[in-house]
Structure 1
């Protein structure tokens, strides 16, 4: 295993993995209704189309569960990202060469499993190799910005290929996902694993070596090492018990932290984002009534807005704190989603155009709040010994809820029409009381001080970093500008 780490390479490697995730989320949405795709897949009905799209999501859930399993932590954060991107490449080749629904679903299952590996361990890898508290949140949140950028790029590429003819209309956009997965492998592989993973596996010398490279200051690196080792001592002997997920009696509240993270991500992905992501063109064209070209342009514009908003929210997430961003997001999203549902219920052409505007408003709010913040929150609040499990289970909740909405969505459209959106409106509203009553503010704390957030008796003692040391950017450590 390499013993040299370059945080900037780690950042860009994981970002390319998320770019691949976003690309997959957008690429099929723009080609599902094209004659070339319909011809190759023998004009699939709504249920079959839903399974083609949603198979990726269910496989991503499986990939997250594998990465969250107790034995998975033995291989490290880095290997999961590299292995996931490699599996995605295999799946993309199968998908792009598909001439049947079964082959396409098989390819998307491979892509999904690989994606589960990347998105469950990538944020952990970035959080644990970021040298400063103030940059940790933005750098993790920006991962979702890259996922949204991947979706936007895919939709614009799809739009461009609508002017082409033949099977290239959908096969080439699907095949282009290989670019992002390959970059993820090339950029991530040369790096060492995170220093916290080395300490967790009783390899302190390697952990200290990586910390020294991250900080460029042996004294500061030694202080961080002491904090990591203190945190591990606090968590010694604590095991996850099923009963703790309901009434947590442990000192570090590990089960509570995992439960809160899983529910946070689950609620976020029951708000409707994946329905909008995967069926954007179909929503504009079929359910709002726009012309095909106009629907494609609106889809590209909406996903571009989502990407820009995710970057903005990530960059400024340190202002106000995690809870305020989530609370304001839930409140404003509820207004836009309820208005969207009401206008769809009216059903007139003018009301449909207004509904499209409400959907853009919802995206404008969701993108800087509930898009990046759940990733940030779960990557920093999980206890070190169970961080891979906690983040993995949190991300598995994302994919399970996404599968539920994406698979049930088209079927629901056929059965109950606009009323399917009431489901999403309910969860936009529920997000507010959940955050207000259950989540704690994690902004401004180092990863080694998170235990004290849940139990003040576990505050790191002597030898810990001062507030100034915890937020100083050492020259040459984290060069990434956010």
Structure 2
């Protein structure tokens, strides 16, 4: 079958897997406050079962938390399973498996007759999200050139933001449909991107690094040439990449245990801790909780009726737009700077929210605002506008920083032999904390943002601009990061990478005399001694 070598088309199709998570977030946040949902899954005095009673209060707050968190629970399982699936079947096939599972889960969710059936469907959807969210970044990382890797892997977050926005407006429009179709239609439409993803993957190549790891060397060379040199197997960059992959595979086959146990060895624990906390901190910002429950927050901030949904949708638009700067400049900014700046800004806006709510708000009556227990606080007047504004600024701070970087950074940290397994473990941490976050408040998230700033500052080295094999030397080479005593805060972005170097005339022996042929320095940065 014909395969495309256009890296942007490859990315555009594969990141639809990220869009699945976005669809789930907004389909739930847009629906949980609608009359159809509240009445059909009602646990109040006039439920369960659909009815038009004005007393419909929906699921109990603890039950709603379970419904929302069930997807994250499934994602945790799916992320762990993805390590086994990707090593056995390949990166591309693992994502296809995830798309099929999503279709099954969406059928169950859209046909839900009661809360248990809804939860089961969302758990199955979560397994799909776990697989795709773990392996899409690995797949793109192993195909992308170093100079564009941040932009391309970061597109996963952009796809998530598009999924959130598109599904929110679909759900908002469907809220005007009478009866249970108000939520069954949008939940059924969730299958569409998964179908497109499955079919689109058929024309994409497999990861060359996975092919090499599996002993399929000729196919690996074909893919590298297709993606990076329009099919030219003699291209210098292609040959350099192939040689680096061969060196790593040969080293791994002779010296490495490729079981799960290797992740616990001393040389791997440091980077495993960095990867895990990249995902944990991205959850502890509170962003996903904000997305799930923003309608509750705005209702407590004195917005009513459709104004709640429309105001909520603004933050989804902000999320899409503010992710674009990361796609343009993330490889120039590096990884550390966005993480530090994002943590500082989010911390500021969350502390402001916490202070304003504590100073000017008060508890809602028993049973919650509007009869919804989750709406447990009331704030009115000008202070309520501060809450709304800071919520928007919080999203604008997350979108170009922790959002994309949390997907870009982990796959860069690990060697080929364990990359699939390691990213699976790292991503499972994301979903474990996503599951646990339903009841945290602004002040707690502000503390987390302050802590993550310090953690990134002192412990996370820069990986932007380095090839995946060069990143490996940072953690393992006796002349690398650990042994020459360069702390994380002194590492920098490599701005001039092998795939960006100008190609000059080759000699009669086919050897180019330019920056591409310069020996790598100790820090793997093409002679740039001052950077790691």
TM-score, scaled relative to structure 2? 0.80
- Show the counterpart of 2:75: 60
- The answer on whether the counterparts of 1:20 and 1:180 sit within 8 Å (CA) in structure 2 is yes
Residues 473, 89 of structure 1: alpha-carbon distance in 2 compared, 3 angstrom cutoff: farther
- Show the counterpart of 1:367: 399
Unaligned segments of structure 1, at least 5 residues? 413-419, 460-465, 475-482
CA–CA separation in structure 1 for the residues paired with 2:220 and 2:281: 36
4+ runs deviating over 3 angstroms: 2-9, 233-236, 239-246, 455-459, 466-469
SS in 2 for 1:30: helix
Deviation at 1:468, TM superposition (A): 5.7
Provide Cα deviations, 1:10-54, integer angstroms capped at 9, x if missing partner: 322222111121010111111112121122223311111111111
- The answer on whether the counterparts of 2:31 and 2:183 sit within 8 Å (CA) in structure 1 is yes
1:16 aligned to 2:16?
yes
Greater relative contact order (CA < 8 Å, ≥ 6 in sequence) = 1
SS in 1 for 2:135: helix
What does residue range 413-452 of structure 1 map to in structure 2 within 5 Å? 420-452=441-473
Deviation at 1:242, TM superposition (A): 9.3
What does residue range 235-254 of structure 1 map to in structure 2 within 5 Å? 235-236=252-253, 237-239=255-257, 249=266, 253-254=267-268
Residues 473, 168 of structure 1: alpha-carbon distance in 2 compared, 3 angstrom cutoff: farther
Provide Cα deviations, 1:57-92, integer angstroms capped at 9, x if missing partner: 1000100011124x7511110111001011101110
| Residue number among 60, 79, 84 corresponding to 1:45 in the alignment | 60
Deviation at 1:219, TM superposition (A): 2.0
- Greater mean deviation of Cα atoms: 301-310 or 253-262: 253-262
Which protein shows a greater Rg?
Answer: 2
What does residue range 391-470 of structure 1 map to in structure 2 within 5 Å? 391-406=423-438, 409=439, 420-457=441-478, 469-470=498-499
SS in 2 for 1:166: coil
| Residue number among 225, 233, 248 corresponding to 1:231 in the alignment | 248
1:281 aligned to 2:295?
yes
CA–CA separation in structure 1 for the residues paired with 2:390 and 2:316: 15
Residues 244, 200 of structure 1: alpha-carbon distance in 2 compared, 3 angstrom cutoff: closer
Unaligned segments of structure 2, at least 5 residues? 42-47, 49-57, 362-378, 481-494, 504-532
TM-score, scaled relative to structure 1? 0.88
SS in 1 for 2:30: coil
- The answer on whether the counterparts of 1:128 and 1:194 sit within 8 Å (CA) in structure 2 is yes
1:311 aligned to 2:324?
yes
Question: Which structure: greater helix fraction?
Answer: 1
- The answer on whether the counterparts of 1:27 and 1:158 sit within 8 Å (CA) in structure 2 is yes
- Show the counterpart of 1:213: 226
Question: Across the two proteins, how many residue pairs are aligned to each other?
Answer: 449
- Greater mean deviation of Cα atoms: 178-187 or 446-455: 446-455
Deviation at 1:274, TM superposition (A): 1.3
| Residue number among 88, 91, 96 corresponding to 2:102 in the alignment | 88
- Greater mean deviation of Cα atoms: 163-172 or 84-93: 163-172
1:155 aligned to 2:168?
yes
- Show the counterpart of 2:156: 143
